[in-house]
């Protein structure tokens, strides 16, 4: 009859004294599947005459305690409970999901019955939290990362939160949490979004992080920058230059090089130009390419100017020499290399166009028209660029004359007296002189003609004291001999009868046929002849 007594007592407690709540703190009490919980009463240790614990509705007895008889454990709780009979607190072990529900206690102490109730929630702990992403290799601003967090076991309610490194990820523009926090969507990832990411899943009894997940975000290339070493405005041919290119890019960019917009075969971040030639001048740029983002970027171009050294400066003239005064001549200045400027000088003085000088726009050709004898001299053409200079020289010889012919001699000669005639003429090359008498050449080519005795040249018939008019005709050829015909023209002197009426002092000329010589050899064509005549009067006494 013991069991019946316990049951009736329990019923009495529950039905008769339900009103006085409070010996259990408000619940619920959370328990872990397979774990233990203790329902603690608020009673200080004392002597309790009866304690009764029940579960559910209708109530099932967990344990009944009578001070006189000790505890009686209900079916299904044997070995799973411990009762503290001084406080009425109950420990429940090896929790199952069936233990979820309401627990009630009734205590009698010194004739007063106290009751309390609470509830128990048994949760399964969370295990195996897994983080996955739709893709972990993404292209910046192109791709969207979607993370999904899952658990293999664990009772609801589950809560999720997300970490990026050590900071919490919160929803904002472009970043969304979905499916109750189970998914994280990051639209148009940037390079700063690589993580590592983690999700943490929690329920009332446990919290569990996932593994870390790091994204690979490809970006660029951006801002390709080209550097030129050494940095200069102009380079001499034969120099060695290194162009290097860098760019913000992940994975690292691949580089190609372009000259004037045309791709060169060269690849790699460095382009070495050895022994560079003027033909390699131009606008260089580098092209950066990212094989993952498939994007290209071109650097700012850099102009490289290579100058060849100037050499072999030469002046050529046209026509070929001889250059005759009054004609024209052109001097042309050429050189090999990168010619940037030319200058003309004559006898050390800078020449400028004007007068009979014409200088072509590029200063390559100097034309002199008409050429004058004063234009003879040393011409220099200086060809230069910023790294080199070359000079060419040419001696210009302007041939002229003979002109300005002059014969000098005494104004009076006594018969028998020695006399000297001097003939001069402006000429380049210098003239050579030939003296002739009565059409007969006098040997020798000196500009001076000397006669010891006048009688030798004056016919016996010429009376002493006669005035002789001497006409000198000079006919000469440039570069050759000057022919001078010396004619002694007899004229009746003051003491003689005039040859013509009126006793005129006018000389009478005879035998004036021109006589000249052209001794120029191997020259063509014969140059124009210049005919000079000079009258020389002397009184032969
Ligand atoms: C992502 O990029 C696309 C295309 O560039 C754009 O239309 C969209 O607005 C972007 N979304 C966000 C959240 O930035
Ligand atoms: C992750 O952290 C980095 C560095 O603090 C930050 O730049 C980035 O914006 C963060 N990403 C997200 C999705 O919050
Ligand atoms: C980036 O997006 C554009 C259009 O949105 C697409 O055409 C392109 O192929 C994408 N690039 C990569 C590398 O996926
Ligand atoms: C030169 O000619 C004149 C006139 O014909 C003549 O009188 C004279 O004797 C001549 N002189 C000589 C040296 O032959």
> What pLDDT is attached to residue 311?
93
SS3 annotation, 43-82? CCCCCCCEEEEEECCCCEEEEEEECCCEEEECCCCCCCEE
In the predicted model, what is the mean pLDDT of residues 509-520?
A: 31
Among 294-298, 357-361, 534-538, whose mean pLDDT is lowest? 534-538
Angle at 506 between CA 503 and CA 508, to 5 degrees: 100
> 202: CA distance to ligand 2 center in Å?
23
Ligand located closest to 174 CA: 1
Q: What is the CATH number of the domain that holds 42?
A: 2.60.40.10
State whether 430 and 454 are in the same domain: yes
Same domain, 328 and 292: no
From 22-31, 95-104, 426-435, 525-534, the region with the lowest mean pLDDT: 525-534
Task: Single out the residue in 95, 123, 151 at which a domain terminates.
Answer: 123
* Segment 351-358 mean pLDDT: 94
pLDDT at position 129 is 96
Domain range enclosing 75: 2-123
Our separate counts of H helices and E strands in the chain read 1, 46
User: Among 74-78, 161-165, 275-279, 431-435, which stretch is predicted with the lowest mean pLDDT?
Assistant: 431-435
Residues having CB within 6 Å of any atom of ligand 2: 164-165, 169, 175, 186, 192-193
Q: Does the structure show a pLDDT above 80 at 26?
A: yes
The answer on 371 and 301 residing in a single domain is: no
What average pLDDT score do residues 86-97 get? 94
Which of 142, 217, 291, 294 for a ligand 3 pocket mutation test, highest count of atoms within 8 Å of Cβ? 142
Give distance in angstroms: CA of 362 to centre of ligand 2: 65
Domain boundary among 284, 306, 328: 306
Same domain for 532 and 406? yes
More confident residue, 213 or 412: 213
Residues 292 and 320 in one domain: no
**Amino acid 521: pLDDT:** 30
pLDDT of 439 reads 67
Q: How far is CA 350 from the centre of its chain?
A: 39
What is the predicted pLDDT for the residue at 65?
93
Q: For 19-31, what is the mean pLDDT?
A: 79
- What is residue 413's predicted lDDT score, i.e. its pLDDT? 66
CA dist 262 and 301 (Å) reads 12
Total domains in the chain come to 5
Structure-token match 């774990």, residue found: 35
Ligand nearest to the CA of 184: 2
Q: Are residues 267 and 326 in the same domain?
A: no
Number of the ligand closest to the Cα of 173:
1
Determine the pLDDT at residue 513: 29
CB 358: neighbour CB atoms within 10 A? 14
Cβ contacts of 12 within 8 Å, gap of 6 or more: none
How far is 525 from 172, CA to CA, in rounded Å? 102
Higher-confidence position of 107 and 432: 107
Q: Which ligand is nearest to the CA of 466?
A: 4
Distance 511 CA to ligand 4 centre (A): 10
Does residue 473 sit in the same domain as residue 422? yes
Higher pLDDT, 53 or 541: 53
Q: Is 293 in the pocket of ligand 3 (CB under 6 A)?
A: yes
pLDDT of residue 265: 92
Share of the chain above pLDDT 90, in %: 61
Dist CA 8 CA 11 (whole Å): 5
CA 430 to chain centre: 64
Average pLDDT score over the chain = 81
Instruction: Kindly indicate the confidence band of residue 453, based on its pLDDT and cuts at 50, 70 and 90.
Output: low
Please state which of the ranges 31-45, 254-268, 451-465 shows the lowest mean pLDDT: 451-465
Q: Are 405 and 292 part of one and the same domain?
A: no
Residue that is last in its domain, among 123, 143, 168: 123
177 C-alpha to center of ligand 1: Å? 17
444 pLDDT higher than 50: yes
Q: What is the mean pLDDT of residues 244-254?
A: 96
Residue 146 has pLDDT above 50, yes or no: yes
Ligand 3 atom index nearest CA of 292: 13
Q: What share of the chain is helix, strand, coil (3-state, %, to 5)?
A: 5, 50, 45
pLDDT in tens, 180-206: 999 999 999 999 999 899 999 999 999
Instruction: Evaluate: CB of 491 within 6 angstroms of ligand 4.
Output: no
**Mean pLDDT confidence for 370-392:** 95
CA–CA dist 346, 382 (Å, integer): 11
Q: Are 432 and 477 in contact (CB under 8 A)?
A: no
Q: What is the pLDDT of residue 433?
A: 75
Same domain membership, residue 515 and residue 480: yes
User: Residue 487: nearest ligand to its CA?
Assistant: 4
Peptide bond into 534 cis (omega under 30): no
- Ligand 2 atom with the smallest distance to the CA of 195 is 1
Q: How far is the CA of 188 from the centre of ligand 1 (A)?
A: 6
At 432 the pLDDT is 75
**Helix (H) or strand (E) segment spanning residue 11:** helix 2-16
pLDDT at 514: 30
Instruction: Out of 167, 177, 192, 212, give the residue to mutate to test ligand 2, the one with the largest number of ligand atoms within 8 Å of its CB.
Output: 192
Tell me if 217 CB under 6 Å of ligand 3: no
Parallel/antiparallel/unpaired status of strands 137-139 and 262-267: unpaired
Q: Are residues 189 and 228 in the same domain?
A: no
Instruction: Report the nearest-CA residue for atom 2 of ligand 4.
Output: 438
410 and 530 co-located in one domain: yes
Distance from residue 450's CA to the centre of ligand 2 (Å): 119
Residues in contact with ligand 1 (CB, 6 Å cut-off):
174, 187-188
Decide: 438 in ligand 4 pocket, CB within 6 A. yes
Q: When comparing pLDDT for 401 and 180, which is higher?
A: 180
Q: Which of 141, 143, 193 to mutate to test the pocket of ligand 2 (most atoms within 8 A of CB)?
A: 193
Considering the domain architecture, whether residues 11 and 45 belong to the same structural domain is answered as yes
Measured distance CA(255)–CA(247) in Å, rounded: 9
């Amino acid at each position: 009859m013991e069991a019946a007594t316990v049951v009736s007592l329990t019923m009495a407690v529950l039905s008769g004294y339900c009103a006085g709540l409070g010996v259990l703190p408000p619940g619920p009490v959370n328990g872990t599947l397979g774990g233990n919980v203790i329902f603690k009463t608020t009673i200080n240790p004392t002597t309790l005459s009866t304690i009764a614990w029940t579960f559910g509705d209708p109530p099932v007895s967990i344990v009944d305690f009578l001070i006189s008889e000790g505890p009686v454990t209900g079916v299904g709780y044997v070995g799973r409970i411990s009762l503290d009979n001084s406080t009425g607190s109950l420990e429940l072990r090896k929790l199952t999901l069936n233990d979820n529900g309401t627990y009630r206690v009734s205590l009698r102490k010194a004739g007063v019955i106290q009751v309390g109730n609470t509830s128990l929630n048994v949760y399964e702990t969370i295990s195996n939290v897994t983080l996955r992403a739709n893709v972990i290799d993404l292209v910046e601003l192109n791709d969207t990362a979607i993370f999904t967090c899952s658990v293999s076991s664990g009772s609801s309610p589950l809560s999720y939160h997300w970490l990026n490194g050590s900071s919490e990820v919160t929803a904002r523009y472009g970043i969304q949490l979905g499916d109750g926090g189970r998914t994280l969507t990051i639209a148009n990832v940037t390079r700063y979004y690589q993580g590592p990411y983690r999700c943490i899943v929690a329920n009332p009894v446990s919290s569990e992080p996932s593994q870390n997940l790091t994204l690979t975000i490809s970006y660029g290339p951006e801002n390709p920058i080209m550097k030129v070493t050494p940095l200069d405005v102009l380079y001499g041919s034969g120099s060695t230059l290194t162009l290097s290119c860098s760019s913000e890019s992940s994975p690292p960019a691949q580089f190609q090089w372009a000259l004037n917009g045309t791709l060169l075969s060269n690849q790699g971040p460095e382009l070495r130009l050895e022994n560079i030639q003027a033909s390699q001048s131009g606008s260089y740029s580098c092209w950066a390419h990212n094989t993952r983002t498939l994007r290209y970027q071109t650097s700012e171009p850099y102009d490289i100017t290579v100058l060849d050294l100037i050499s072999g400066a030469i002046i050529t003239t046209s026509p070929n020499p001889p250059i005759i005064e009054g004609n024209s001549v052109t001097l042309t200045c050429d050189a090999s290399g990168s010619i940037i400027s030319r200058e003309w000088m004559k006898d050390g003085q800078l020449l400028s166009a004007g007068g009979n000088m014409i200088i072509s726009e590029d200063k390559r050709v100097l034309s002199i028209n008409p050429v004058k004898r004063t234009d003879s001299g040393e011409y220099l053409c200086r060809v230069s660029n910023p790294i080199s200079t070359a000079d060419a020289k040419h001696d210009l010889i302007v041939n002229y004359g003979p002109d300005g012919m002059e014969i000098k001699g005494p104004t009076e000669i006594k018969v028998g007296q020695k006399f000297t005639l001097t003939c001069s003429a402006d000429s380049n090359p210098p003239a050579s002189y030939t003296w002739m008498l009565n059409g007969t050449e006098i040997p020798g080519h000196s500009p001076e003609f000397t006669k010891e005795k006048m009688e030798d040249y004056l016919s016996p018939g010429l009376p002493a004291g006669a005035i002789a008019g001497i006409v000198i005709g000079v006919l000469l050829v440039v570069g050759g001999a000057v022919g001078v015909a010396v004619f002694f023209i007899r004229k009746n002197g003051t003491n003689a009868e005039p040859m013509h009426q009126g006793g005129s002092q006018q000389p009478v000329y005879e035998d004036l046929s021109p006589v000249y010589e052209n001794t120029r050899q191997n020259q063509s064509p014969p140059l124009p002849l210049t005919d000079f005549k000079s009258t020389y009067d002397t009184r032969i006494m």
